[in-house]
Amino acid sequence: MARMAGRRLLFAVPVLAAVTFGVFAIAAASPFDPAHAYAGSAGLSAGQDTLDQLRANLHADDPFTVRWWRWLTAALHGDLGDSSALRQPVSQVIGERVGWSVLLCAVAFTLALVLGTLLGVLAARRRGGLLDRAVTGAAYALEAAPPFWIGLLAVWFFALRLGVLPAGGLTDTGSDVVTADQVARHLVLPAAVLAVSQLPWFVLYVRQGVGDALEEDPVRGARARGLSEHTVLLRHALRSGLLPVLTLVGSRVPELITGALLVETVFSWPGIASATVEAATSVDFPLLAALTVLATAAVLAGNLLSDLLYGLADPRVGFDG
């Protein structure tokens, strides 16, 4: 188990390096000009001298390989560089924002996991029944709906039509004091939307897994021995039926991250998403690279976690190698 974790961590190093290299290459090929993006509206009245100076200060004319190497070596020494878009050190940008994103993702993920398992089990108990058909149908429909669309719909309904929940932000517009109850109230819509966008996968996986398990020999044997339906479901079917869900936990991480990007933007949630969008459109190399590393690391960690969990839960599987 430790060997697998160690090997995966070693493998992560070249993966992360390659991913950041890719980010620098793509950003360099984008049509956006870092000097113009930095100057913003002031750049549209600036003379060539000023723009040239800005260009030189931002090292905008260096080849991307040089910039990548400079960033990588500095990052290895713990210096993530300075964000040109937000005019502050990258580590500060991430420090101020990542917590809010983690909060949002964690709540949404837990919600999706709990609700998904519950609905999935209920649907699996009577496959083909009314509840099953309703839940499965809704899950397929949600699977196709992009999170930002659900987000806009939620804003329209809960914030504009009903007026019961705030439309966006971390706290009320007129208040800049961050209190727990305000954050909780503002968290409801974005977390629910993100959870709902993740929900179908859990529902469908659990339904399939538990449904299959209910038809397996051990379960039939248990039923034949006259054990109660309750015991059969919880002790036998759930145990093997939930195994595939563990894999799902890891593989949902990338979707969760991209989902959070869209949801944060719709709800002006001050997480790392808006920083990511800003970094991309202003060709802010250091910020973009750091955020990509963060996202890649989260994906790798998610996969590792689900493999570990699976290996632990089902001794037959074992750990690779």
Partner 1 sequence: MTARTIRTVAAAVTAATLLAGATACSTPSDGKDGGTEALVVGIANEPETLNPLLGYGKDGNSKIFEGLLRHDAGMRLVPALAAALPKVTDDGRTYTYTLRRGVTFSDGEPLTADDVVFTYRTILDKKTNNPSKGELDAIESVRAKGDDTVVFTLKYPYAAFAERTVLPIAPEHVAGGQNVNTGPFNTAPVGTGPYMLTHWSKGEKISFKANPHYWGGTPKVKKLTMAIIKDDDMRATRLRSGDLDGAILPPNLAKTFAKDKSKRTITAKTTDFRAVTLPTDNEVTGDTAVRRALDLAVDRRAMVAAILEGAGTEAYGPVPGGSRWFAKGTERANDLAKAQRILDEAGWKPGEDGVREKEGQPAAFTLWYPSGDKLRQEHALAFAADARKAGIKATVQSGTWEVIEPRMKNDAVLAGGGNPADPDFDLYNLLHSSLAGDGFNNMARYANADVDRALEEGRRSGDQDERKRAYDTVQRELADDPGYVFLTHVDHRYVMRDDWDGPSTQVEPHDHGLGAGPWWNVEDWAPKK
Among positions 13, 160, 162, 224, the unique one binding partner 1 when judged by CB under 8 A: 160
Residues present in the chain in total: 321
Residue 176 engages partner 1 in binding (rule: CB under 8 A):
yes
Query: 70: exposed, middle or buried (C-beta count within 10 Å: 0-12, 13-18, 19+)?
Result: middle
Piece of the chain touching partner 1 by CB under 8 A; list 128-136, 171-179, 255-263, 292-300: 171-179
**Residue 59: DSSP 8-state:** T
Alpha helices by DSSP H, 58-146: 64-76, 90-125, 130-144
Residue 100 engages partner 1 in binding (rule: CB under 8 A):
yes
Q: To the nearest whole angstrom, how small is the minimum distance from the Cβ of residue 103 to partner 1?
A: 4
Alpha helices by DSSP H, the chain: 2-29, 34-39, 48-57, 64-76, 90-125, 130-144, 147-154, 180-214, 217-224, 229-231, 238-241, 243-251, 253-266, 272-281, 285-313
Q: Choose between 107 and 291: whose C-beta lies nearer to partner 1.
A: 107
Number of residues counted as binding partner 1 (CB under 8 A): 61
Among positions 5, 19, 51, 138, the unique one binding partner 1 when judged by CB under 8 A: 51
Does residue 256 contact residue 295 with C-beta atoms inside 8 Å?
A: no
**Concatenated DSSP letters of 151-174:** HHHHIIIIIIIS--S-SSSSS-TT
Among positions 2, 10, 29, 44, the unique one binding partner 1 when judged by CB under 8 A: 44
Residue 251 engages partner 1 in binding (rule: CB under 8 A):
no
End-to-end CA gap in the chain: 10
Q: To the nearest whole angstrom, how small is the minimum distance from the Cβ of residue 198 to partner 1?
A: 15
Piece of the chain touching partner 1 by CB under 8 A; list 67-75, 84-92, 127-135, 293-301: 84-92
CA dist., res. 167 & res. 210, Å (int) = 38
289: β partners = none
Query: Nearest-CA neighbor of 206 among 126, 113, 108?
Result: 113
Among positions 278, 293, 294, 303, the unique one binding partner 1 when judged by CB under 8 A: 278
Residues between 252 and 271 with contacts to partner 1, criterion CB under 8 A: 268, 270
Residue 177 engages partner 1 in binding (rule: CB under 8 A):
yes
Torsion region of 65: left, alpha or beta (phi above 0 gives left; psi -120 to 50 gives alpha)? alpha
CA dist., res. 273 & res. 292, Å (int) = 11
Residue 313 engages partner 1 in binding (rule: CB under 8 A):
yes
Token pair for 117: 């398992």
Q: To the nearest whole angstrom, how small is the minimum distance from the Cβ of residue 23 to partner 1?
A: 19
Piece of the chain touching partner 1 by CB under 8 A; list 20-28, 116-124, 167-175, 202-210: 167-175
Residue 102 engages partner 1 in binding (rule: CB under 8 A):
yes
Q: Choose between 38 and 202: whose C-beta lies nearer to partner 1.
A: 38
Q: Which residues bind partner 1 (CB under 8 A)?
A: 31-33, 36, 38-51, 53-54, 57-58, 82-84, 86-89, 92, 99-100, 102-103, 106-107, 110, 160, 163, 167-170, 173-180, 183, 239, 268, 270, 274-275, 278, 309, 312-313
